[in-house]
Chains A and B, each alone.
Chain A
Amino acid sequence: MSANPFATIKEAVDLSPEVADEVKFTTCYMCACRCGIKVHLKNGKVRYIEGNPDHPVNKGVLCAKGSAGIMNQASPAKLTKPLLRIGERGEGRFKEIEWEEALALAESWLGEVRRKDPSRLAFFTGRDQSQSLTGWWAKQYGTRNFAAHGGFCSVNMAAGGLYTLGGAFWEFGEPDWDHTKYFMMFGVAEDHDSNPIKIGLGKLKTRGDAKFVAVNPSRNGYNSIADEWIGIRPGTDGLFVFALIHELLKAEKIDFKYLARYSNAPWLVIQNPGGADDGLILRDKKGNPLCYDLNRKKAVSALGADITPALVGERTIGKKKVTPAFELLAKRFLGDEYAPDAVAQTTGVPADTIRRIAAELAEVAFEEEIIIEQKWTDVWGREHDKMIGRPVSFHAMRGISAHSNGFHTCRAIHILQVLLGSVDVPGGWRHKAPFPKPIPAGPKPSGQQTAPETMLDGMPLGNPTGPEDLLVDDAGEPLRIDKAYSWEHPLSSHGLMHMVLHNAWAKDPCEIDVAFFYMANMAWNSSMNTKGTLEYFTDKDENGEYKIPKIIYSDAFWSETVAYSDLILPDTTYLERHDCISLLDRPISSAHGPGDAIRHPVISPDRDVRCFQTVLIDLGARLGLPGFVNEDGSPAYPGGYEDYMVNHERAPGLGPLAGWRGEDGKSHGKGAPNKDQLKRYIENGGFWVHELPPEQQYFKTVNKDYLEYACEMGWIPSAEPILFHLYSEPVQKFRLAAQGHGPNQPPDRHRKRVESYFDPLPLWYQPFEEGEIDRDEFPLHALSQRPMHMYHSWGSQNAWLRQITSANKLHIHATTAAAMGLVDDDWVWIISRLGRVKGQIKLITGVNPDTVWTWNAIGKRKGSWGLSPDAPESNQGFLLNHIISEVLAPQKDGQQYSNSDPVTGQAAWFDLRVRLEKCAREEFGFTEPMFELFADAPSPQQTVNRYGADLKAEAKGSKGVPATGWIGNRHENAQNIAGVSDGHGNQRDEDKS
């Protein structure tokens, strides 16, 4: 006790407590971003997760999701043991069973199907990052009915990019953040590359010499810090881009040389209306595309060098009338209907704004070009003494992808990039390894033939190059359960997961016996028409049997889909498992070079759960699938997923992980399996990365040294030039078939649709739903997106994240609301042509006045995800999916198409149109539709969460060290502010020297 009872007692603050017993490096999985994390462990529990400063993806930062990983681990919704349904589907009544019983049951169901007809298994996975394994498993099993969730996520972006640039926006490319001076972002509030985009925007804006333009109906997320926000009307981005191109062409502000060298602009397109070769590329006997050389005055192979190609001018070569692709493209975009004044009303973007943006793009691209003094050699062997860049860059995703016109809109954006000469150049948008790939990337989809106990002849998913690659029967009807690769949506390279349950229930186009899902919440937020989808799960035939006979599901948490499945295989959390983030799938590469990474268990499960991939490999062995068993029938990978990660070879020397291969561990890319490979990864912080040498950093599509390296690594078949496809010949081949040419013909009812939408040049059309409804009856667009703190993460049950958002509201422009007599917090019915859902509104001004939007996947079903029945997620939060139809209105002939892009099958959930009606006062306060409480769902035991109380540590060591200052974006700030030292964070370059 102090002498003076009123004196302040001085606290002895422990400045240097022991933090952890152990620190382990692994890869985050709170979303799809693949950040490196340092996990601090104390007493066997997670004390702290922070970003790994050495990791190429996140460079030490970590988002809200990643930081909340501790609460995912602590979630009461974790599954604890295999479950077998004992009630009716949807009731949620289960009995716990042992793994041996669960695996034997799965084996018997899957084995019976495989003996009968392997394609009666539909195997669809969600947001997992192991599709190179799951796809291979499906191939070895022998079912064509496989895909992941790309069909409702990203396929428009993937296909639009792969068929145009040989790579895609999505997570497979990135702006040159360090050099770009003008950055345009379309339809992105948050994205797969969650932290890299944040890091990039922070750097770009701190540098202060670049402009960031955001095109998005909603000014949230990234859009809120844009220099200019263009609140475009949903689904009209393509038209806006058309008008930009129109302006640039009229002003001749395009990079003609870049087009002539690096794209198919000069390729000669046959003009033979009505003929079987109309619109195809004129080729020589070897199949090389031809262009017309103005100097040599003849047609020459367009793949050669030192050509002076004509970009315009109809000619007759041999007997063929031909026109360069560029002329066709210019005619399309120069159409008067794409002038800024003509599109202003539809897009909601004033014509002057369009003209100004075009002028700004031109100014930066052509008057602020970047020159990097770096020699490089092109694929034709010509040496260049410098790298010239046009520093405009682009990124686009959800708001383009989720519309029924998304494929063509995505192509239009890519074409704008190429016209400006800004793809894979300094300051532009750059590919990430293993991209770029040949256009379109091989292989093609497999599964035309299936047979009992027989594997497919290739991977189920691929990229078709013409009608002959479709998976259709002799009548041209779909073979796959999701109708992917059929005439209904031929380039559906990610499948149509959103149609699987509908089609399996309808037994159209085929029947399945077992549906096997992983990590996809099909009974809630991963389906359109959720209420209808629940009925597909539960509907029975006249014999009282479920129309979808058996459903196996694997997830780590008690999600809505658990309640609708028959056999549950409980997965581990990401901190308890092995994984590979592979170059065969979705690696951690950056534009600077390739990389891949692993997860490894940093804590042990306290439950009877198993890593799904290990279970899949085990099932493969039990079923005796080729590749999963040795010649003597013993399991090929008895050690499970980690055994497979190290020892599996897809081709000789090529495995899931590229680092430290070869028996001595000294090879990268190709090499024999190395038994110490995982050890090497763990020693290196959980990842492998290769920095491309400076001469390979840009112009990768035609960079000799890069292409040879990519070939050695096994990413491309040969070091040939990859020329951008402004004009898409593969697309034209489908149109020709629809016009009656060739042996592979669509059924007549699809001809007009295929002919219309398979345009080899981009086109813009009104999103389908908008065209089908009365616009006065449904005057508003309705969008849903996920908040940054939950983007792409599994469930909002996280105790910390749900305190940030536990109920979603419908955001509406204040002026629009006022006109309808609505005020903040009113409850409204949100009504589409499919049905209605009830939610509460919030008035804002940062939104297109014709658009309302809400957060997706906040609303949960009562009793799921370990939340108590009175949780806001299931009482006030709502799910817009209830009113998004998975099908379009039937055609006159009865044909009913999926509510998807007609080219790729991408789910068009952003096409939704609604009207709002204010609820009666007694309807305020709770969402509808409301569903019954699940029976056996876990109920939260603990109401007070004192996590960490027992991890508070004692002092260790001395009284601490001096604190050092940290400057965010120190390098960029140092360029602008005199006296601020260069370096990173609290590391100053001057201290190192």
Chain B
Amino acid sequence: MTCLPKESPAKKLGLVIDLDICVGCHACAVNCKEWNTSGKMAPLTDLDAYGAKPDGVWFNRVHTFEAVDPDTGVSRTTHFPKSCLHCDDAPCVTVCPTGASYKREEDGIVLVNTDICIGCKLCSWACPYGAREYDEDEGVMKKCTLCVDKIYNENLPEQSRVPACVSTCPTGARSFGDLGDPDSDVSKLVAARKGYALMPEQGTKPGNRYLPPRPKQVGKGVAPRMLTHQDDSSDGAGLLARWVDKILTA
């Protein structure tokens, strides 16, 4: 019911998240909440903040799960931060009855105009990623803004003009840039690391990319060389004899 930009925006700002080094520390999620609770969609309301069922609006959530590799039978723990993917074919936009949910032509960021959001939640049903956050207190839908009020903000030094989740990430697992430009640094990073889109079969053409965990380093090259014992006598007696006359000028 709401139109996407007629032309897919040339500029597609988005996030690149490296699952090889994310340790699941939640820094991105909390720093995001901190910036945005006074930001464009302020506040990121918390209900029952000190009670039985604390539950609030978060634009970014980290899911930790274990998965078993069907080939090797080896299990691994994965930390998976998830926020709005700023899709090209964003179903949350087209489903919106009021025009509140929209995609910016300038940079592809998907936003909600909370002034005209009626809180019908159709967008959250439409989003296959569960990336929408309903503020029950205000009765409107909120979501990741890609820190639109931070990345262009001339009141901040250049180093801070980046989504909060990116600059705060302790392991450097998050990158940001124009995924629509194949020559941008982030596009090169995605190409080199075979970054992938989440659930492409949904046809939403998500913007953000995830970098898969790299193969584990199990020593150099093929199977590591095992050590050769210089002497195998019991309790090392033979070795000590070898070392008696070892000349080592200190």
Contacts and interface: CB of A to CB of B under 8 A. Distances in A.
B74 to A, nearest CB: 9
A877 interface: no
Contacts of B246: 256, 311-312
Q: Which of B193, B240, B242 has the most CB of A within 10 A?
A: B240
B107 A11 contact: no
Interface string A46-76: 0111110100001011111111101000001
A220 interface: yes
Contacts of B120: none
Interface stretch (A500-508, A577-585, A664-672, A799-807): A799-807
A894 interface: no
Interface string B84-103: 00000000000000010010
B153 A19 contact: yes
B17 to A, nearest CB: 9
A57 B97 CA distance: 49
A212 B216 CA distance: 9
A378 B214 CA distance: 42
Interface string A13-57: 111111100000000000000000000001000011111010000
Interface stretch (A354-362, A422-430, A463-471, A882-890): A354-362
Contacts of A51: 167-168
Given A804-B29, A948-B38, A960-B153, 8 more contacts: A327-B243, A363-B220, A803-B56, A871-B52, A949-B42, A966-B162, A967-B175, A986-B176
Contact of B27 (A63, A250, A336, A802): A63
B119 interface: no
Nearest to B230: A252
B57 to A, nearest CB: 10
Interface residues of B, number: 118
Interface string B42-72: 1111111111101110100000001010000
Interface stretch (B75-83, B124-132, B201-209): B75-83
A384 interface: no
Interface of B: 2-3, 13, 18, 20-27, 29-31, 33-35, 37-40, 42-52, 54-56, 58, 66, 68, 75-79, 99, 102, 104, 107, 111, 113, 115-116, 137, 148-149, 151-156, 158-162, 164, 166-178, 183-186, 188-189, 192-193, 213-214, 216-220, 224-232, 234-236, 239-240, 242-250
Contact of B176 (A70, A223, A966): A966
A846 interface: yes
Interface of A: 7-11, 13-19, 42, 47-51, 53, 58, 60-68, 70, 76, 190, 194-195, 198-199, 201-203, 205-206, 208, 210-212, 219-225, 227-228, 247-253, 256-257, 260-261, 266, 294-295, 305-313, 327, 330-331, 333-336, 355-356, 358-360, 362-363, 788-789, 797, 799-804, 806, 844-846, 866-868, 870-872, 875, 940, 942-949, 951-953, 956-970, 972-973, 976-981, 985-988
A294 B250 CA distance: 11
A945 B49 contact: yes
A294 B224 CA distance: 37
A134 B152 CA distance: 47
A215 to B, nearest CB: 15
Contacts of A8: 2-3, 99, 102
Contacts of A251: 227-230
B159 to A, nearest CB: 5
A951 B37 CA distance: 9
B227 A248 contact: yes
A550 to B, nearest CB: 32
Contact of B243 (A312, A844, A968, A980): A312
Contact of B184 (A250, A965, A968): A965
B236 A804 contact: no
B151 A866 contact: no
Closest 10 CB pairs between A and B? Answer: A334-B236, A965-B177, A960-B152, A202-B171, A968-B172, A948-B37, A198-B170, A940-B50, A948-B38, A251-B227
Nearest to A11: B113
Given A15-B149, A948-B43, A987-B158, A965 B176 contact: yes
B240 A312 contact: yes
A785 to B, nearest CB: 14
Interface of B is mostly: loop
Nearest to A17: B149
Contacts of B172: 199, 202-203, 206, 968-969, 972
A266 B250 contact: yes
Contacts of B156: 19
5 contacts: A17-B149, A60-B167, A257-B250, A789-B30, A871-B50
A15 B114 CA distance: 16
B119 to A, nearest CB: 16
Given A62-B168, A306-B250, A253 B227 contact: yes
B175 A14 contact: no
A308 B183 contact: no
A801 B31 CA distance: 11
A202 B148 CA distance: 27
Given A868-B50, A946-B43, A987-B159, A965 B216 contact: no
Contacts of A19: 153, 155-156
A944 B34 CA distance: 16
A721 to B, nearest CB: 11
A944 B35 contact: no
Contacts of B231: 250
Contacts of A875: 52
Contacts of B250: 257, 260-261, 266, 305-309
A48 B156 CA distance: 12
A846 B77 contact: yes
Contact of A961 (B18, B154, B193, B220): B154
A16 B154 contact: yes
B235 to A, nearest CB: 6
B77 A947 contact: no
Nearest to A59: B170
B24 A224 contact: yes
Nearest to A12: B113
Contact of B240 (A66, A205, A309, A331): A331
Contacts of A949: 38, 42-43
Contact of A788 (B24, B45, B148, B232): B24
Contacts of A311: 243, 246, 248
Q: Which of A190, A804, A875, A940 has the most CB of B within 10 A?
A: A804
Contacts of B235: 331, 334-336
Contact of B217 (A64, A227, A256, A870): A227
A2 to B, nearest CB: 10
Contact of B232 (A212, A250, A800, A868): A250
B50 A867 contact: yes
Among B20, B22, B173, B175, residue most surrounded by chain A Cβ atoms (within 10 Å): B175
Contacts of A201: 21, 23, 171
A802 B79 CA distance: 19
B149 A803 contact: no
B49 A799 contact: yes
Contacts of A64: 25-27, 29-31
Nearest to B20: A205
B240 A250 contact: no
A661 B24 CA distance: 42
